[in-house]
């Protein structure tokens, strides 16, 4: 582990104003707007379920609470010097594996409880945090091998880093998170400038491994969900039910939507897990095509800002971290929305910022905070 | 700048890979946008419709089924609220089906595989309710209703169940309601039946289904995903309650008839028997008892497969109304046909005397008199009174098979009476053409003889036979027998008033019919029916002993016993000169083999009960069972 005292001195020698100019305000705004959309959906859900919206335990109340915690986490992560992450990369890695492993044991009986005090103890939430930690670990690993990334060994090394975590989430089993790990790894390797031929060969290997995974790794219900998206009508009440219902919800929204809280699919509970992985179905129903486009534009803008920050970062760690975060957000956006609108199989992947759930939002806030920490702790590269 | 020197320059990084990443973003989001545009712009209307259909369903409003009363207004059926458990298969996710059915089976104490069978044999679509259990105890119904979140697709419905008063006594007439079957559904759907609907299956419940049912209404309701009604959006049309029926049946007469029949059957060790009481002036059935019977409440509550199998496998067919649905050889009661035909066709007169002998011969065959002796020359009244076979062989021979058959048809044999009950049999009247069509050969002369005494190919239903005698007793009007007197609207007004329905008038003069009535009276006065003559009332009638089946080792055949009797309007004073009888009774004892005619004893006992005759004239000694063939 290397500590870089000179850099800290550099940063402290600069005026506070310069540092804050380096803070990417746009990135924060886009993220905040997306989180607001998420809160709006939570509000809609609470309003439709009747009763007081601001009552303790209601979806919207919990959403507000999570948002508050997320802001605190974001500020803390921004203030925290990201370079310490490099120092603690390996301990972080093992903490990460420990969290994933422990969720395997704790996760069983505790399932379903979503009270905000019990964030520690939910496997779902550990894996959200694990995604960010994995990006940190990978960024650190690849930064250390900067310039030598043409070699196969660096690529394989990165893969080996991911494999234990990947196995742990597959054991949960959490196909979604394991896919996010793979996407993050691929995105970061690609952006690190790794040799394309090796990457291509690796991709081929993965494709070749799919039949093996299908036979030996995937459970029956996972296969069923993967297949059902191809033909949801084959079993409209079984695994295809949610797909059909979510497409009905989205399609019935039309151009302008039915208006917030007016979705009937949502209000009458036709859509199970409407606030979690399938929240986009309600968004499509209530806010329509236009609302969905605005959300897409916010995501594009957010990813763009992450890429800009990555580009600007003089520290390869910043480049890699930004790329990893961008890969994660893009992948989750495409897979989650694709699943809701029937062009992707069902895998439990949340929609960043919008899916209701504290761990996802807090992990993203932490990721964005780290990004901002990177932004303000180095002299800008010329753009 | 020194800070830059230690790091690789920004230009080091590959702009191409950033561009490639950007392209990936555009492709990814572009694909999502394209699909969204397909769903939300191109096909929005279609999905909006699906969403509406999800939300609102057109639901039937059941109408309250009409009631059934006896002729004095005593209720024979009431509607009582009961809980039914139903499943809408479309709302039961396949993945949860086993768990839900196991849980439901535990609550209902049903085998989950039976529930599975019910769902799979569901006549409607996946979106229609399937009836799983009827008449569920309230506590169970509440448990299921409260667990609706864990039991997706399961619904508890409050509906009206038929509760039959004295079920076994009236089941053959009233019938019962049962679930619509898959075969019936396609036709019934068009007239507003639901796949989980109940329909009258037999008896007047079936025949008057349309009147009793009324008309279901319809309403659009908003429902949630588990199918629960949230609110009524619109009543499309209100339900119209069904009409009620007032039967011609008198509960009191029915009880007396059943008592008489049960007594006779118990004394003679019979397994099946029928008693019908009818008013010859109107065709109204006052009582109709067919034993063995069954409890129609079993069906109303949702009969179990084992109970149903038990009823189906019973050799004495309790589900069958033997009074109308089964046909038997009429035996000597059928001599009415030859007698009327011979007189009306003027082949004989009331005074013509025919010689009765031990037997008649045709070629090598002997046609014997039942007492193997004969009585010498007899008039028709005496011949009928003694039930002489050789007398009626000769009359039948004079008429010929086709004319005999024609007279039988005039009396209504060979075709359904049209009684308002389901499952009536038509009987058979043999003619030359019938024999040619059925057996490919003409009638033999001997078969004409046998037809004359009701032992040929002729078979009749008890209701046909009673109705024929009623036509004779009322002076020549063949009426349509009926069990429903009036149809009454929900507000109590008479929708269909009672009027006797004439099938046709007998083409026989009143003089001929009077002769036949007096001949029937002779049966009693000549003591062919023993002490029936001693009753303080005047009864006329005809007994019959109808052989059937196979001869035993001693060459004897088993036989059924018949008796049809009627009394004049005032049975204490009047004679049979007028066709004014208002009471005719038929008794039929299946496979009786008693020393005397058990049917006659049953009718006698009924008459005693009906007229309140204190003295008991029953001859228990005649009901000894054996294989006797004594009288005709």
pLDDT category of residue B352 using cuts at 50, 70 and 90: very high
Where residue B1 falls among pLDDT bands split at 50, 70, 90? very low
Task: Report strand pairing: B68-69 vs B244-247.
Answer: parallel
pLDDT at residue number B68: 95
Residue A265 is predicted with a pLDDT of 61
Buried b (16+ CB within 10 A) or exposed e, B80-91: eebbbbbbbbeb
The reported pLDDT for the residue numbered B48 is 79
Closest residue, chain B, to A328 (C-alpha): B25
A11/B contact by beta carbon, under 8 A: no
> What totals of helices (H) and strands (E) does chain A contain, helices first?
16, 0
Whether B154 has a pLDDT exceeding 90, the answer reads: no
ipTM for the predicted complex comes to 0.87
Please report residues of A whose CB lies closer than 8 A to that of B225: 268-270
pLDDT tens across A99-128, in order? 888 767 664 433 332 222 344 434 346 788
pLDDT band at residue A339, thresholds of 50, 70 and 90? confident
* DSSP at B138: H
Once rounded to an integer, what is the mean pLDDT over residues B577-593? 93
What SS3 state is found at B154? strand
From chain B, the residues in CB contact with A312 under 8 A are: 10
pLDDT at A382: 42
Is pLDDT above 80 for A155?
yes
What stretch of H or E contains B5?
helix B2-5
Q: Quick check: B47 and A251 CB within 8 A? A: yes
What DSSP string runs through B543-576?
A: EEEEE-S---TTSPPPEEEEEEEEE-SSTTT--S
Between residues A47 and A207, which one has the greater pLDDT? A207
At A51, the pLDDT band (50, 70, 90 cuts) reads low
pLDDT at A57: 59
What pLDDT was estimated at residue A5? 44
Does B162 score more than 50 pLDDT?
yes
Pairing status of strand B484-488 against strand B540-547: unpaired
**pLDDT, position B627:** 62
Q: What is the pLDDT of residue B596?
A: 86
- What's the confidence (pLDDT) of residue B612? 94
| Contact flag B51-A238 (C-beta cutoff 8 Å) | no
Taking the CA of residue B191 and the nearest CA in chain A, the distance in Å comes to 30
Query: Of the given ranges (B212-221, B230-239, B339-348, B556-565), which has the lowest mean pLDDT?
Result: B230-239
A330 contacts B35? CB cut-off 8 A = no
Reported confidence tier of residue B34, pLDDT bands at 50, 70, 90: very high
A39-48, A86-95, B109-118, B461-470, range with the lowest pLDDT: A39-48
Per the CB < 8 Å rule, is B3 touching A293?
Answer: no
Contact B341, B362 (CB under 8 A): no
Separation of alpha carbons A175 and A153, rounded Å:
27
pLDDT tens readout for residues A213-267: 787 777 777 677 666 666 655 555 455 667 777 888 888 888 888 888 777 665 5
Taking the CA of residue B192 and the nearest CA in chain A, the distance in Å comes to 27
Give B229 to chain A, closest Cα distance, Å.
Answer: 11
Looking at residue B407, its pLDDT comes to: 96
Per-residue model confidence as pLDDT tens digits over B190-219: 888 887 888 999 999 999 999 999 988 888
Q: What is the pLDDT of residue B235?
A: 79
pLDDT at position A92, please?
Answer: 87
The whole-number average pLDDT for the span A165-176 is 80
What local confidence, expressed as pLDDT, does residue A114 receive?
27
| Contact across the interface for B90 and A237, Cβ inside 8 Å | yes
A18, A186, A238, A252: best to mutate for the B interface, most B CBs within 10 A: A252
**Mean pLDDT across B339-363:** 93
**Fold held by B251-623:** Beta-lactamase (3.40.710)
Residue B583, judged by CB atoms within 10 A of its CB (0-12, 13-18, 19+), counts as: buried
pLDDT at position A269, please? 52
B600 pLDDT above the threshold of 70: yes
Compute the distance between CA of residue B475 and CA of residue B508 in angstroms, rounded to an integer. 9
Q: How far is A161 from chain B (nearest CA, A)?
A: 23
Q: Tell me whether B20 touches chain A (CB under 8 Å).
A: yes
- pLDDT at position B230, please? 67
Comparing A76-85, A142-151, A363-372, B464-473, the range with the smallest average pLDDT is A142-151
- Confirm if A322 and A367 have CB atoms less than 8 A apart: no
* Pairwise CA distance, residues A180 & B245, whole Å: 73
**pLDDT digits 0-9 by tens, A304-323:** 999 999 998 888 999 999 99
pLDDT at B334 over 50: yes
pLDDT at B102 exceeding the cut of 70: yes
Residue B408 banded pLDDT, cuts 50, 70, 90 = very high
At residue B199, φ and ψ (nearest 5 deg) are -145, 150
pLDDT at A52: 59
Rg (CA), chain A: 21
User: Does B490 have pLDDT greater than 70?
Assistant: yes
Whether B52 has a pLDDT exceeding 80, the answer reads no
Give residue B602's pLDDT: 96
Question: Which pLDDT score is estimated for A252?
Answer: 85
What percentage of residues in chain A have a pLDDT greater than 90? 28
Query: Is there a contact between B95 and A239 if contact means CB atoms under 8 Å apart?
Result: yes
Contact B28 A334 (CB under 8 A): yes
Q: What is the mean pLDDT of chain B?
A: 88
Q: How far apart are CA B564 and CA B334, in angstroms?
A: 11
Helices (H), B190-250: 203-207, 209-213
Q: Is the pLDDT of residue B350 over 60?
A: yes
Is residue A270 scored above 80 in pLDDT? Answer: no
CB contacts under 8 A, A 199-258 vs B, are 221, 235-239, 241, 245, 247-255
Beta-carbon separation of B40 and A284 below 8 A: yes
Contact B461, B324 (CB under 8 A): yes
**Chain A interface, best mutation among B19, B20, B39, B52, by max A CB count within 10 A:** B39
Q: Which of chain A's residues have a Cβ under 8 Å away from the Cβ of B17? A: 190-191, 193
Mean pLDDT of the B489-505 span: 90
pLDDT at B479: 96
Shortest Cα distance from A98 to chain B (angstroms)? Answer: 32
pLDDT at B98 over 50: yes
Between residues B552 and A297, the one the model is more confident about: A297
State the pLDDT confidence band at B616, using cuts at 50, 70 and 90.
very high
* Residues in A touching B125 (Cβ below 8 Å): none
Helices (H), B121-213: 138-146, 167-174, 185-189, 203-207, 209-213
CB-CB neighbors (< 8 A) of A251 in chain B = 39-40, 43-44, 46-48, 50-51
At residue A381, does pLDDT exceed 50?
Answer: no
User: Is residue B132 within 8 Å of B116, Cβ to Cβ?
Assistant: no
Domain range annotation of chain B: 57-247, 251-623
**pLDDT reported for residue A248:** 83
* Lowest mean pLDDT segment, chosen from A4-8, B238-242, B363-367, B464-468: A4-8
Per-residue model confidence (pLDDT) at position A15: 55
Instruction: Give the residue among A319, A352, A321 at the shortest CA–CA distance from A335.
Output: A352
Q: Which residues of B touch A316 (CB under 8 A)?
A: 8
Q: What is the pLDDT of residue A333?
A: 95
Chains A & B: contacts with CB separation below 8 Å: 152
Residues 290 through 349 of chain A touching chain B, CB cutoff 8 Å: 292-293, 296, 299-300, 303-304, 307, 310-312, 314-316, 319, 323, 326, 330, 333-334, 337-338, 341-343
Say if B223 is an interface residue toward chain A (CB within 8 Å): yes
Q: Express each pLDDT in B120-140 by its tens digit.
A: 877 666 667 888 888 888 888
The reply to whether B57-247 and B251-623 are identical in fold is no
**Cβ of A237 and B230 within 8 Å?**
no
Model pLDDT, residue A122: 40
pLDDT class of A171 with cuts at 50, 70, 90: confident
Selecting from 3.90.1310.10, 3.40.720.10, 3.40.228.10, 3.30.750.24, what CATH number does the domain B57-247 have?
3.90.1310.10
Domains of chain A: which residue ranges? Answer: 24-374
pLDDT at B6 over 70: no
pLDDT at B487: 94
pLDDT of amino acid B148: 75
Q: Which of B1, B32, B222 sits opposite A337 (nearest CB)?
A: B32
Is it the case that residue A193 has pLDDT exceeding 90? no
pLDDT at B485: 94
pTM: 0.64
């Amino acid at each position: 582990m290397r500590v870089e005292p000179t850099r800290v001195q550099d940063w402290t020698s600069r005026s506070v104003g310069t540092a804050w100019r380096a803070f990417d305000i746009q990135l924060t705004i886009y993220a905040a707007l997306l989180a607001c959309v998420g809160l709006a959906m939570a509000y809609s859900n609470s309003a439709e379920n009747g009763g007081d919206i601001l009552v303790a335990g209601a979806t919207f109340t919990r959403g507000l609470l999570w948002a508050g915690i997320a802001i605190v986490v974001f500020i803390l992560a921004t203030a925290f010097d990201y370079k310490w992450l490099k120092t603690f990369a390996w301990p972080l890695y093992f903490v990460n594996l420990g969290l994933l492993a422990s969720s395997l044991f704790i996760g069983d009986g505790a399932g379903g409880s979503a009270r905000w005090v019990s964030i520690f103890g939910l496997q779902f939430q550990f894996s959200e945090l694990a995604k960010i930690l994995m990006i940190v670990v990978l960024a650190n690993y690849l930064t250390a091998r900067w310039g030598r990334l043409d070699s196969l060994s660096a690529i394989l090394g990165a893969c080996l880093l991911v494999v234990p975590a990947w196995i742990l989430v597959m054991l949960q089993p959490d196909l979604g998170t394991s896919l996010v790990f793979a996407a993050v790894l691929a995105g970061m390797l690609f952006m690190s400038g790794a040799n394309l031929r090796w990457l291509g060969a690796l991709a081929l290997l993965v494709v070749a491994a799919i039949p093996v995974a299908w036979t030996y790794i995937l459970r029956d219900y996972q296969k069923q969900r993967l297949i059902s998206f191809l033909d949801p009508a084959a079993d409209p009440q079984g695994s295809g039910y949610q797909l059909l219902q979510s497409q009905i919800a989205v399609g019935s929204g039309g151009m302008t939507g039915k208006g917030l809280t007016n979705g009937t699919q949502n209000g009458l509970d036709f859509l199970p897990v409407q606030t979690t992985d399938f929240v986009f179905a309600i968004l499509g129903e209530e806010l329509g095509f236009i609302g969905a486009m605005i959300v897409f534009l916010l995501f594009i803008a957010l990813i763009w800002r992450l890429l800009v920050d990555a580009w600007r970062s003089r520290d390869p760690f910043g480049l890699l971290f930004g790329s990893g975060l961008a890969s994660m957000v893009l992948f989750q956006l495409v897979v989650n929305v694709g699943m809701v609108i029937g062009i992707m199989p069902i895998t439990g992947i949340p929609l960043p910022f919008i899916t209701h759930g504290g761990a996802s939002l807090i992990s993203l806030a932490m990721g964005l905070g780290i990004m901002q920490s990177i932004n303000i702790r180095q002299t800008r590269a010329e753009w | 700048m020194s800070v830059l020197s230690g790091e690789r320059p920004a230009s080091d990084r590959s702009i191409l890979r950033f561009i490639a990443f950007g392209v990936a973003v555009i492709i990814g989001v572009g694909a999502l946008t394209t699909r969204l545009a397909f769903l939300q712009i191109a096909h929005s209307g279609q999905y909006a419709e699906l969403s509406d259909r999800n939300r609102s369903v057109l639901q039937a409003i059941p109408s309250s089924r009409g009631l059934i009363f006896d002729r004095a207004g005593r209720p024979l059926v009431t509607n009582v609220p009961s809980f039914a458990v139903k499943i809408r298969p479309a709302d039961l996710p396949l993945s949860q089906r086993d768990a839900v059915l196991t849980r439901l089976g535990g609550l209902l104490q049903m085998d989950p595989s039976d529930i599975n069978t019910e769902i799979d044999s569901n006549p409607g679509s996946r979106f229609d309710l399937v009836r799983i259990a009827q008449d569920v105890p309230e506590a169970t119904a509440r448990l299921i209703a409260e667990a609706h979140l864990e039991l997706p697709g399961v619904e508890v419905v409050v509906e009206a169940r038929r509760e039959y008063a004295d079920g076994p006594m009236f089941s053959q007439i009233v019938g019962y309601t049962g679930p619509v079957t898959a075969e019936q559904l396609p036709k019934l759907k068009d007239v507003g039946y639901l796949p989980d609907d109940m329909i009258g299956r037999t008896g007047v419940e079936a025949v008057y289904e349309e009147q009793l049912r009324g008309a279901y209404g319809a309403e659009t309701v908003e429902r949630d995903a588990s199918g629960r009604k949230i609110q009524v959006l619109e009543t499309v049309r209100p339900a119209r309650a069904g009409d009620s029926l007032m039967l011609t049946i008198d509960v009191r007469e029915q009880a007396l008839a059943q008592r008489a029949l049960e007594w006779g059957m118990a004394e003679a060790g019979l397994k099946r028997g029928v008693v019908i009481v009818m008013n010859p002036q109107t065709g109204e059935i006052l009582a109709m008892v067919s034993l063995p019977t069954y409890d129609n409440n079993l069906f109303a509550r949702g009969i179990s497969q084992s109970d149903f199998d038990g009823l189906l496998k019973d050799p004495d067919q309790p589900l069958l109304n033997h009074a109308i649905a089964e046909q038997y050889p009429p035996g000597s009661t059928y001599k009415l046909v030859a007698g009327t035909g011979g007189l009306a066709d003027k082949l004989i007169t009331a005074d013509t005397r025919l010689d009765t002998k031990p037997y008649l011969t045709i070629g090598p065959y002997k046609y014997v008199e039942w007492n193997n002796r004969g009585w010498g020359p007899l008039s028709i009244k005496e011949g009928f009174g003694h039930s002489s076979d050789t007398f009626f062989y000769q009359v039948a021979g004079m008429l010929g098979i086709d004319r005999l058959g024609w007279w039988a048809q005039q009396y209504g044999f060979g075709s359904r009476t049209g009684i308002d009950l389901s499952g009536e049999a038509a009987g058979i009247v043999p003619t030359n053409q019938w024999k040619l069509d059925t057996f490919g050969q003409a009638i033999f002369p001997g078969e004409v003889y046998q037809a004359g005494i009701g032992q040929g190919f002729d078979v009749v239903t008890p209701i046909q036979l009673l109705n024929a005698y009623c036509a004779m007793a009322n002076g020549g009007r063949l009426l349509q027998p009926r069990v429903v007197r009036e149809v009454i609207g929900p507000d109590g007004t008479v929708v269909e008033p009672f009027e006797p329905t004439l099938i046709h008038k007998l083409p026989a003069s009143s003089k001929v019919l009077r002769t036949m009535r007096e001949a029937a009276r002779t049966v009693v006065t000549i003591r062919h029916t023993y002490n029936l003559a001693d009753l303080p009332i005047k009864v006329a009638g005809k007994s019959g002993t109808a052989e059937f089946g196979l001869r035993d080792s001693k060459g004897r055949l088993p036989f059924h016993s018949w008796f049809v009797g009627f009394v004049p309007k005032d049975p204490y004073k009047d004679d049979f000169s007028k066709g004014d009888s208002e009471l005719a009774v038929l008794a039929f004892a299946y496979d009786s083999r008693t020393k005397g005619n058990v049917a006659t004893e049953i009718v006698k006992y009924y008459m005693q009960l009906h007229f309140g005759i204190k003295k008991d004239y029953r001859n228990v000694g005649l009901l000894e069972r054996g294989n006797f063939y004594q009288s005709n």
